[in-house]
Structure 1
Amino acid sequence: MMTGVLAAEDAALIRRCAADSERTGMLAAPVQELIHQRGWLRMFAPESMGGAELALPQGVRLEEALSAADGSTGWTVTLCAGAGWFTGFLSPELARGIVATPRVCLGGSGAPSGYADIDGDGYRLSGRWNFATGAPMTTHFTMNAVIRQDGAPLLDEAGKPRIRAFVVPAAQVRIEENWHAIGLVATASHTFSLDKVRVDASHAFDLVPGAAKEAGPLYHFPFMSLAFVTLAANISGMALNFIGQAREIIGRRHHHITQQPLAELPQVQQALARGPRELDEARTRFYQLLDAAWDQSCRGEHPGAAADHELQRASLDMVDTARRAVDELYPLCGLAAADRRCDSDIARAWRDLHTATQHALMLPFSA
């Protein structure tokens, strides 16, 4: 049975492969194999369909631990397992077939940068979507598209273009290898496109209350809150990774003039204590709110808009605290933290964190 605990030997393998993953621009083969062996990409897929249907707080803790081992690994598992959650909103027959796919991996984009033209009892999908994390591993792509009829967008009750989500097999998708970010290099978050690909209506779904096909609390947890907590936990994990390495590096350094051990300087001691303490406090509050929201969801109670906002705000606060803690220690690490080589673990952790915080949801004022 899957748990929210990352085994020490699994974390060690991921760390050993991190440099190779970044060097090749995608997760190394041993890491991919481990991901599939552990079933992490099925962690949020319905148990009735062959998934683990892991309790959300356990999954979030696992994702944080994976990112603490390697940012690209944690981010890829998080985004692809998150797309696997969508199978709880598909017809059981379609979902069962997808989850049963050997080495299944769902990935895609939430941006509505394409169109779905109504074609009889199905749709024709066309468009181009950026930042599909795990693209080389992906067996099924998900995307949002504007619904059109006879070339004109259909409007919802608010007068805005109607948007639906879709899932298509990877064989129908064209991948453009154009991921060139400074961090999260091995996520291979490339662009993909479709050109008038026809899909059955069953391949369309909606991530709204009441649309879930599964009864479990995981599929009735608010989608936006789920997105916030999973992404924020990744950034927290990356910060924990950086801080652990920074402590070791700073402990070996001496002041360039006085030759006094850097870690003995009062201002350095304060920095080493302050950031990690504040991050620990932010993490404690974050997990308290997440656990409470999950408990309510398990009781069939929706926490309400105010509680959703509080959880999302705590997610952003944790991200901001993580970034500040890392950036306060960064100048104390010397050029080791600025090394662009793939085998510089601390520099890779810094690049990963600062790339992850560029995600649109992680804007400080977005919740």
Structure 2
Amino acid sequence: MDYVLDRTSVTREEREQRADLVERASKLVPLLAANARRTEDDRRVVDENIAAIEEAGLFSIMQPRRFGGLQVDFRTKLEVTRELAKGCGSTAWATSLMNICAWFTGLWNEKAQRDVWANPAHRVAGVLAPTGSAEVVDGGYRVSGKWGWASGCLHSQWAQVGIPVTAEDGTVRDQGLVLIPMSELTIEDTWFVTGMKGTGSNTLVANDVFVPAHRYISFLGMIAGQVDNPFPDEALYRGAFVPSAVITLVGPQLGLARAALDLVLEKAPKRCIAHTFYDKQSDAPTFQLAVAKAASLVDSAHLHAYRAAADIDEAAQHGVFPDYAARARVRMDAARAISLAREAIRELVSAHGASSFADASPMQRIWRDSEVASRHAVGNPEISAEVYGRALLGFTSGVSPLV
């Protein structure tokens, strides 16, 4: 189904490119689905999936055209990620996070970007939380610390990690991100979870790594709309930082919900309702009502997500940094989309029946993936509602810096 909400200035060429990229992603769904069990068992996205996504050009969608990337808008990123998640939630999540880290890299200065994309095929993982330490030294920083959970780190050549920058008296004067080659980091195998098992979201470790000054960017500055990208014609990298980061979490949820709905609809004419006279689920009014409710929830999730993407893309296209209330609404829309998708999956699991939880059923993996991924802290629906409610009442602080 096509949802109308989009930025008003999207061109015919951009729509055609979006359709092409979504089709490329859709063609990969059977492969990703066939490898989903192995991705879980291996606790990493299987190499065959990574190679197929790379061949389809879907790791380059947020990369600047200057380095051979496609530089698409956030609506397109949402749709591509959604398609991939129909096959495998872990693969879609890792791909989505590596793509947003490519977008983050596009906010840096040109020299830092050239370091990363000296090889245009390089991928980037990242953790925004400032859980490391940094010492200011001649020419840059000495960085140490641990950062979890770094989705996509097993398939990336670079990493972005958060650091506090302190003054001589020990007070924090800034919070930033630094770019470090993966070859200078180690990975601790820490990702043991119930859902999204295959994302490989392990812990990055740095031990006294030198980072040149040009590979630092102020995280607080980015939140406020201050970036180092020197190319004013690259509208994509004028997008508001927090809304763009938050909307990244939504695509996999949309795809998981759609996959659950498709599976239940496909199986309904072939399954009975135990201990009733219904030989086919599809004949039962209670089942019909359940799938109608679930489908409406999936539709509503898409509409919230696409409105958020349209807000981000339209503001970026016109070089406008959205005000606090607009950014708060995007965060609310994203959280609402995640919650609606999760609710749809729960409804579908119940409608499908207890066999949803059989090891052989994709439903149990979809359910687990959704339950885990939907609880990412930035997508917290209660905090997002508090941020939005306060914004509606004129407050512009007091809950979270991530707005």
**TM-score normalised per structure 1:** 0.91
In the alignment, is residue 212 of structure 1 matched against residue 231 of structure 2?
Answer: no
Look up the match of 1:169.
181
* Change in CA separation of 1:292 and 1:127 when aligned onto 2, cut-off 3 Å: closer
| Letter paired with 2:215 | H
Gaps of 5+ in 1: 157-161
- Contact preservation (8 Å) 1:279, 1:322: yes
Deviation at 1:170, TM superposition (A): 0.6
- Structure 2 counterpart of 1:265, from 269, 278, 284: 284
In the alignment, is residue 361 of structure 1 matched against residue 378 of structure 2?
Answer: yes
In the alignment, is residue 112 of structure 1 matched against residue 92 of structure 2?
Answer: no
- Contact preservation (8 Å) 1:319, 1:362: yes
Deviation at 1:80, TM superposition (A): 0.7
CA distance in 2, matches of 1:192, 1:22: 21
Look up the match of 2:361.
344
- Structure 2 counterpart of 1:189, from 190, 201, 206: 201
- Structure 2 counterpart of 1:139, from 157, 163, 182: 157
* Change in CA separation of 1:165 and 1:128 when aligned onto 2, cut-off 3 Å: same
Identity of aligned residues (%): 23
In the alignment, is residue 28 of structure 1 matched against residue 40 of structure 2?
Answer: no
| Letter paired with 1:277 | S
CA distance in 2, matches of 1:108, 1:299: 28
SS in 2 for 1:41: coil
CA distance in 2, matches of 1:247, 1:262: 9
Moved over 4 A (4+): none
Q: How many residues align?
A: 359
SS in 2 for 1:274: helix
CA distance in 2, matches of 1:188, 1:45: 22
- Contact preservation (8 Å) 2:300, 2:340: no
- Contact preservation (8 Å) 1:45, 1:86: no
| Letter paired with 1:355 | V
Deviation at 1:250, TM superposition (A): 4.0
- Contact preservation (8 Å) 2:356, 2:363: yes
SS in 2 for 1:322: helix
CA distance in 1, matches of 2:103, 2:152: 16
| Letter paired with 1:141 | A
In the alignment, is residue 99 of structure 1 matched against residue 117 of structure 2?
Answer: yes
Per-residue CA distance 1:209-243 (angstroms, 9 max, x = gap): 23231322211111111122121122111111112
| Letter paired with 1:16 | A
Alpha-carbon RMSD across the aligned residues, in angstroms, is: 2.0
Gaps of 5+ in 2: 1-15, 385-403
CA distance in 2, matches of 1:321, 1:189: 25
Deviation at 1:194, TM superposition (A): 0.8
* Change in CA separation of 1:103 and 1:345 when aligned onto 2, cut-off 3 Å: farther
Per-residue CA distance 1:311-333 (angstroms, 9 max, x = gap): 22111111111111111221232
Deviates more, 1:166-175 or 1:103-112: 103-112
Per-residue CA distance 1:254-308 (angstroms, 9 max, x = gap): 2322241333222221111012113213312431342244223212233322222
* Change in CA separation of 1:200 and 1:24 when aligned onto 2, cut-off 3 Å: same
CA distance in 1, matches of 2:45, 2:146: 24
Look up the match of 2:6.
none
- Structure 2 counterpart of 1:322, from 330, 333, 341: 341
**TM-score normalised per structure 2:** 0.83
Deviation at 1:126, TM superposition (A): 0.8
